[in-house]
Structure 1
Amino acid sequence: MADIKVIIPAINEGDSIGLVVSEIPDHVSEIVVVDNGSSDDTIANAKKAGATVITENRKGYGFACLKGLNYISERSKTPDIIVFIDGDYSDYPEELDKIVAPILENDIDFVVGARKKSLREPGSMTPQQVFGNQLATFLMRLFFRSKFTDLGPFRAIKYEKLKELKMQDTTYGWTVEMQLKILKKKMSYIEVPVRYKQRIGVSKVSGTVKGTIFAGIKILGWIFKYSLK
């Protein structure tokens, strides 16, 4: 059986993190919650649900993901597959098996959970999120002949392939950086439609004007940077 580890970046997700951790399938070997400076009970609730909790005080989604990867790389036994999922309970953790299936069954390198409109709960994505995804994936099709339709946070990748990507982004550009590098390195990928519901709590990105603008700039910046290479 493949060794699967899950990384969950989290900041002030005390009301949701326990639900996310507890609903991840039992065959996952380890769930790593990376606390990004929470002031609530995120850490306590994650531990209570059975997760390994580490901390990254430098604020940023990418910083948290990189800290989780560094923790995993230092273990004596590294996994076959890494899964990323947000800690806000907007995804359905039990769909992890759908996300990893193309890797296990068809040897695909990377899978992203695509939040199809027909499977989204009304209001689960803000208008700016929908527009940003459409713009980013349109530009990726234009510049790289990509087939991506979403930058969804629920994703799985072979651990060895992830190491090859040499991820760098420390903030909101993490997801698009990963997908652009998949395209540039001609790794195999596929999207799997997933359900999506309204998150618990307020988004640190789409829930604020500053977060929305900054995320948009980061995402477009990565796309144009790679289009010029």
Structure 2
Amino acid sequence: MNQPIIDVIIPAFNEEDSIGKVIRDIPTIVRHVVVANNGSSDTTKKVAEAAGAIVLDEPQKGYGKACLTAMDYLSKVEEQADIVVFLDGDYSDYPEQLLDLIKPIIEADYDMVIGSRALGKREGGSMTLPQVFGNWLATTLMRWIYKTNYTDLGPFRAIKWDQLKALGMVDENYGWTIEMQIKAAQSGLKTTEIPVDYRKRIGVSKVSGTVKGVFGAGYKILWTIYKYW
């Protein structure tokens, strides 16, 4: 994989203040930046297009639903990608670390690489206590049940495109990231983690910023672990 084709998927809901910064910081090695505009009521679509992204409208709310819409688009392009990177649109991740994220795939033939915030440097206040605890609980349960070594459910991740399609992803909301990690383990994919840095997001989180989001995400993560068990 000397010169892999790399595409980026960004699910976005009301990220007009951050999405442009995210897109502009993505390394030029990337071919397509696909933003799945998940029912935004602000100018997210306009800002993303101005920054050079391909913008798809997905009115049905849901993180996983937005990702599935972007995947469907990429499955129809003439030349398929080698690697797909998932990245949030709130500027909490450092898009330039994409180069570090794809390196194990290119150099050591890993199938999937998770960007671990638990292993990287986190800005104070960038993750709430429920987020930190939820990640610890979920990764601990996966370690016991699926014999994995994950430390995070971080959304910043890279995976070989053919392997991603083979996983048969179906979750349309909060269970997207953990479904991918569980299915990767069940499928015997070669996976690893690298440290990634994390900062305070721009705007209010749709998950950790609300009580409904926190409990909804927690329930869905635990249910997904149980379901695939």
Q: Match for residue 63 of structure 1?
A: 65
User: What does residue 165 of structure 2 align with?
Assistant: 163
Paired position in structure 1 for 2:26: 24
Q: Aligned-residue CA RMSD in angstroms?
A: 0.7
CA distance in 2, matches of 1:226, 1:55: 30
TM-score, length basis structure 2: 0.98
Alpha-carbon distance in structure 1 between the residues aligned to 2:228 and 2:64: 18
Shift of 1:117: 5.9
Q: Percent identity between the aligned chains?
A: 56
For residue 217 of structure 1, what is the aligned residue in structure 2?
219
The CA deviation at 1:76 is 1.0
For 1:149, the aligned partner's letter is T
Query: Which of 136, 139, 142 in structure 1 is aligned with 2:138?
Result: 136
Q: In the alignment, residue 131 of structure 1 is paired with which amino acid?
A: F
Residue of 184, 187, 190 corresponding to 1:185: 187
Q: Which residue of 2 aligns with 1:3?
A: 5
- Alignment partner of 1:97: what SS? helix
Pair 222,13 (structure 1): closer, same or farther in 2 beyond 3 Å: same
Moved over 4 A (4+): none
Kindly state the Cα deviation for residue 145 of structure 1 after the two structures are TM-superposed.
1.1
Distance of aligned partners of 1:99 and 1:118 in 2 relative to their CA distance in 1, 3 Å threshold = closer
Give the count of matched residue pairs.
227
Give the match's secondary structure for 1:111.
Answer: strand
SS in 2 for 1:68: helix
- Deviation at 1:74? 0.9
**For 1:86-140, what per-residue CA distance to the aligned partner results, in whole angstroms no more than 9, with x for missing partners?**
0000000000000000000000000000002650001000000000000000000
What do residues 44-76 of structure 1 show as CA deviations (whole Å, max 9, x unaligned)? 110111101011000000000000000000111
Cα 1:73–1:130 shift into 2, 3 Å = same
Matches of 2:86 and 2:109, distance apart in 1: 18
Aligned counterpart for 2:93 among listed residues 75, 91, 94: 91
Deviations 1:11-53 (A, max 9, x none): 0000000000000001100100010011111011101111010
> How many angstroms apart in 1 are the aligned matches of 2:113 and 2:206?
25
For the residue of structure 2 that corresponds to 1:119, the secondary structure is coil
Give the unaligned 5+ runs of structure 2: none
Corresponding position of 2:35: 33
Aligned twin of 1:103: 105
| AA matched with 2:34 | V
